[in-house]
């Protein structure tokens, strides 16, 4: 059942059918009715490929993230998909993994699908920010508007929105030191732009508060509760009186370690997570965590891209403050 069949059955030309499908104003109501009736009756759906060929668009946006099974990304994708769909855009999902090569490949692959826009979730896509590592973004932006959720790169066609991770981490560590904490563990699981910002905030806060920067207190580990716990356990004597982490999973791992070591929480150790996930209200005591404003970033992504696709212009870069959500693992 194609446009010719409908045209024949409705006694009009294919051009008219096409116009009806696209709700063109230059077709008489009467004709529209007639054609629509036939379409309904025949259960006609325009062929998207042919449509795509003609319009050079299938109203699709590409969503690329390292791994949807991660809670932050899953929530992001859920939000994005819903909003884009609300605008009539379908979403192609590509989970790229974390390696530079596979990220580049993912972006190239998804571009071949002639998507109308591309959104990259998480700050892994800017690599170390070097020209070499962001070259693929530059190229991508030549084809479609690209939005970086929680990443920043100065490049035409690449739009960005950041969480102020440096600032919140700086403020948080300052608060910890002001509350008398001296040995603050920093847990992280990636070298992404945002993780780096968090680390910088941590380091600067230590320095500005006259605390030494102890290398053994910066621990890189897989983001899995049991792994973090075991990892810490294996380190023997590891004294600390506070923990900040780049994700809740890491913080909970530390919490589990602290429990095992009979440390009192929050008296002996303050623990602070990141992303304010369901894990934070799941553990005991509940975890103080940082709201990274994921939805605010995602919202901006959708809003900006939709404006761009309508031919409007858009402000280039914005950022949003994060918030500390206090729960039982802190006492300041």
Sign of the Cα pseudo-torsion (93, 95, 100, 102, in order) = negative
Nearer to DNA, 32 or 218 (CB): 32
The minimum distance between CB 45 and DNA, in angstroms, equals 7
- What is the contact surface with a second copy in residues (CB under 8 A)? 45, 47-50, 52-53, 56, 58, 60, 63, 67-71, 74-75, 77-79, 81-82, 85, 90-95, 109-110, 112-114, 224-226, 249, 252, 259, 278-279, 281-284
Nearer to DNA, 15 or 37 (CB): 15
The minimum distance between CB 167 and DNA, in angstroms, equals 46
Residue 15 binds: one of a second copy, DNA, none (C-beta under 5 to 8 A by kind): DNA
The minimum distance between CB 152 and a second copy, in angstroms, equals 25
Q: 100-112 and 131-143 are packed helices; what angle lies between their axes, rounded to 10 degrees?
A: 10
Is residue 92 within 8 Å of 85, Cβ to Cβ? no
- In our burial notation (b when 16+ CB lie closer than 10 A, e otherwise), range 1-35 reads eebeebbebbebeeebbbbbbeeeeebeeebeebb
Cβ-Cβ contacts under 8 Å for 34 (sequence gap 6 or more):
10, 11, 12
The minimum distance between CB 169 and a second copy, in angstroms, equals 23
Residue 113 binds: one of DNA, a second copy, none (C-beta under 5 to 8 A by kind): a second copy
Nearer to a second copy, 39 or 279 (CB): 279
Nearer to a second copy, 63 or 161 (CB): 63
Specify whether the backbone of 162 is left (phi greater than 0), alpha (psi in -120 to 50) or beta. Answer: beta
Residue 23 binds: one of a second copy, DNA, none (C-beta under 5 to 8 A by kind): none
Nearer to DNA, 36 or 299 (CB): 36
- Residue 224, judged by CB atoms within 10 A of its CB (0-12, 13-18, 19+), counts as middle
- What is the contact surface with DNA in residues (CB under 7 A)? 2-4, 11-16, 18-19, 21-22, 26-28, 30-31, 46-47, 49-51, 53-55
Nearer to DNA, 13 or 226 (CB): 13
Residue 128 binds: one of a second copy, DNA, none (C-beta under 5 to 8 A by kind): none
Supply the Cα-derived Rg of the chain in whole angstroms.
25
Residue 92 binds: one of DNA, a second copy, none (C-beta under 5 to 8 A by kind): a second copy
The minimum distance between CB 144 and a second copy, in angstroms, equals 14
Distance CA 305, CA 159 (A): 9
The minimum distance between CB 4 and a second copy, in angstroms, equals 15
Is residue 145 within 8 Å of 301, Cβ to Cβ? no
Nearer to a second copy, 281 or 309 (CB): 281
Nearer to a second copy, 58 or 214 (CB): 58
Q: Could you report how far apart the first and last alpha carbons of the chain are, in Å?
A: 69
The minimum distance between CB 125 and a second copy, in angstroms, equals 17
Residue 208 binds: one of a second copy, DNA, none (C-beta under 5 to 8 A by kind): none
Paired tokens of 237 = 């004597």
């Amino acid at each position: 059942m194609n446009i010719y069949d409908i045209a024949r059955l409705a006694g009009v030309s294919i051009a008219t059918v096409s116009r009806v499908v696209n709700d063109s104003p230059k077709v008489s109501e009467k004709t529209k009715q007639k054609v629509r009736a036939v379409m309904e009756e025949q259960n006609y759906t325009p062929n998207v490929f042919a449509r795509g060929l003609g319009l050079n668009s299938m109203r699709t946006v590409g969503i690329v993230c390292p791994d949807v099974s991660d809670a932050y990304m899953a929530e992001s994708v859920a939000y994005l998909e819903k909003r884009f769909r609300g605008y009539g855009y379908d979403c192609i999902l590509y989970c790229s993994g974390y390696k530079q090569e596979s990220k580049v490949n993912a972006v190239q692959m998804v571009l071949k699908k002639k998507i109308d826009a591309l959104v990259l979730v998480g700050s892994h896509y800017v690599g170390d920010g070097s020209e070499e590592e962001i070259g693929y973004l530059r190229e991508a932006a030549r084809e479609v508007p690209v939005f970086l959720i929680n990443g920043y790169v100065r490049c035409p066609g690449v739009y960005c929105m950041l969480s102020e991770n440096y600032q919140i981490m700086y403020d948080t560590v300052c608060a910890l030191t002001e509350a008398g904490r001296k040995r603050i563990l920093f847990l992280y699981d990636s070298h992404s732009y945002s993780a780096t910002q968090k680390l910088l905030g941590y380091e600067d806060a230590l320095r500005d508060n006259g605390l030494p920067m102890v290398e053994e207190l910066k621990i890189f580990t897989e983001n899995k509760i049991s792994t973090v716990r075991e990892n810490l356990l294996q380190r023997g004597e590891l004294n600390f009186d506070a923990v900040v982490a780049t994700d809740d999973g890491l913080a909970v791992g530390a919490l589990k370690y602290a429990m095992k070591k009979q440390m009192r929480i929050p008296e002996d150790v303050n623990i602070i997570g990141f992303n304010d996930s369901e894990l934070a209200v799941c553990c005991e005591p509940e975890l103080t965590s940082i709201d990274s404003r994921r939805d605010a970033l995602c919202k901006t992504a959708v809003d900006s891209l939709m404006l761009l696709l309508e031919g409007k212009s858009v402000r280039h870069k914005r950022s949003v403050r994060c918030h500390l959500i206090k729960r039982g693992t802190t006492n300041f």
